[in-house]
Each structure stands twice: as structure tokens, then as C-alpha cells.
Amino acid sequence: MVRAPFYDKNGLKKGAWSVEEDNKLRAYIQRFGHWNWRELPKFAGLSRCGKSCRLRWMNYLRPGVKRGNYTEEEECMIIKLHEELGNKWSMIAASLTGRTDNDIKNHWHAHLKKCTKNNPTISKMKTLSNEAYQHDADIARKTEIDNFVSSSPSYQVMESSQLSLETSSNEFPSLSFDNAPLFGINWIAEDNLTTLETLQQSFSDFWTEPFIMDNTYDQNKYPVSLAKGGFCTSQPCYNEGKDSIFMAMQEVKNYQGINEDQYLLN
């Protein structure tokens, strides 16, 4: 159903993603985050461009991505929001938990566009959508309050020693190896990850390290992109300057080496 894989003139692979590529990308991002999309494929051992990796992750591999049938409520929301926002698919997607902008865009063009043109019951749908919208707005407000509370410094200090894996996986879809099964992802079984298990052990002390707040990076003039992307290391690099960043990079490279070796065996 997708483009057949091929290589462009720069040697970059295009077209459909293989299971193996998915596993590599998922494994890398869940461990190190997407600290730099352009560099990521190199470190993850993929012959893809960064944009392609980003797209694959955002639209397909990212935890929590909902696929398949749309509920009536979701459709009403889309219609309502499209009426208000136009083709701002990313904004519409932000209001529909688990749906991607691409998915919504496709669904709109495939189903709802016709529906809004032809369906005489559209006014009824609009009424329904207002209710759905109100319901969603309530949830959004609650989430906003929750986020505000959890992002306050005092809260983070209190929670820092027991950083929730669930939270981290949502906001930085990057960090945990252990949480993969939570998303119904069975990639560990699909892959020969004995070496990664060993790696996991070597990384396990990461979770015992103090929680790193984004503004810690800002204050210390460390690359914000690393912090925002959830770049992690088993070394407590966040207050030790360039050497630590270098060590972190080395760790990424080590991982890459293991990852590549692993696939050489296959």
C-alpha cells in the first residue's frame, strides 16, 4: 500500500519501512530520544534521512498513536475544528488524543470532506461536535492544570527521585526500555536483543540518577536540543561541562556499534 523501497542518488533509502528499520528507530529513540533528527539515522544505523525518520516516528511508531476506526465523536470534533481552524491539521490533531495530523488529514480527504459537502444531517453533527468540543475543552483544561502543577519546580524536586516512566515516555518518548510492552510493542521478541539487554543493564543506573530538568540545561548553557529531545546517558553529565557531553556522545557511539554488530549477525 506504500511506495516500494528504493535508494536515491545520495544512497538514502526511501519508500516503505521494513520491520527491521522500525525496530532500529524505535530502539534508538526509546533509549536516547530524538536529540537531532538529522544526525539520528547515522547513530541509529539507518540509511534514511532525518525527516523520514521523524515522520515514521511521529505518524507510526510513536507510543500512543491511535490507528483505525474513528468514533463518531472524533469525526464530529474534526469537522468542528476544521470549520474553526481550516487545514491546520497539527492543531486539530492536538485536540484528538492519539491521532496524528497526517491521519486526520487523510481521514478528512477520504471521508469527512464529502460528508460536509453532501450530508444534509451535517447540522446535527455540528451540534454533536459542540458537545464533544466542550467535553474535550474540559479535559484540556484539566490537563493544563495538571501540567502546571507537575511542572512547578517544587513538584519536580519532590518527584525527581521517582521520575515516572509513564510520564517520561509520554513527554520524551525516548527514555525507557522497560516501558515498551506498555504500548503493545513486541519488538524485543522480534529482534535479537541479547546485546541490548546487556546494554540496558549498563544503563540502568540512569534511573537512579537525579532527574534532569530542562531549565538545568538552559542555566548551564548546555545544548537545549539535547535536553528537549530527552537525550540521556548513564553518566551524570548535566553539571560537568563539555567532557560529559563528549562522554554521552561516546555512549551513543558505543550503542551504535553494538546495534550494527547485532544486525551484522543476522
Partner DNA sequence: AACAAGTGCAACCGCCTTGGG
Partner DNA sequence: TCCCAAGGCGGTTGCACTTGT
Residue numbers at the binding site for DNA (CB under 7 A): 1-4, 8, 13-17, 34, 36-39, 50-52, 54-56, 59-60, 67-68, 87-91, 101-103, 105-107, 109-111, 224-225
Instruction: Tell me how far, at minimum, the Cβ of 196 lies from DNA, in Å.
Output: 23
> Rounded to a whole number, what is the largest CA-CA distance in the chain?
66
Instruction: Tell me how far, at minimum, the Cβ of 193 lies from DNA, in Å.
Output: 22
* Long-range contacts formed by 179-185: CB under 8 A, 24+ apart: 179/30, 179/63, 180/26, 180/30, 182/63, 183/63, 183/64, 185/26, 185/63
Residue closer to DNA, measured from CB, 59 or 195: 59
CB atoms within 10 A of CB 131: 12
Q: Which among 222, 194, 238, 231 is positioned nearest to 30, based on CA atoms?
A: 231
CB atoms within 10 A of CB 237: 23
Instruction: Tell me how far, at minimum, the Cβ of 41 lies from DNA, in Å.
Output: 10
Residue closer to DNA, measured from CB, 52 or 169: 52
Residue closer to DNA, measured from CB, 89 or 133: 89
Residue closer to DNA, measured from CB, 16 or 139: 16
Residue closer to DNA, measured from CB, 83 or 138: 83
Instruction: Tell me how far, at minimum, the Cβ of 168 lies from DNA, in Å.
Output: 17
Is-contact 41 53, C-beta < 8 A?
yes
Q: Helix axis angle, 122-151 relative to 72-85, nearest 10°? A: 90
Strand partners, 13: 7
Instruction: Tell me how far, at minimum, the Cβ of 76 lies from DNA, in Å.
Output: 17
CB atoms within 10 A of CB 254: 12
Identity of the residue numbered 5: P
Instruction: Tell me how far, at minimum, the Cβ of 34 lies from DNA, in Å.
Output: 7
Residue closer to DNA, measured from CB, 75 or 101: 101
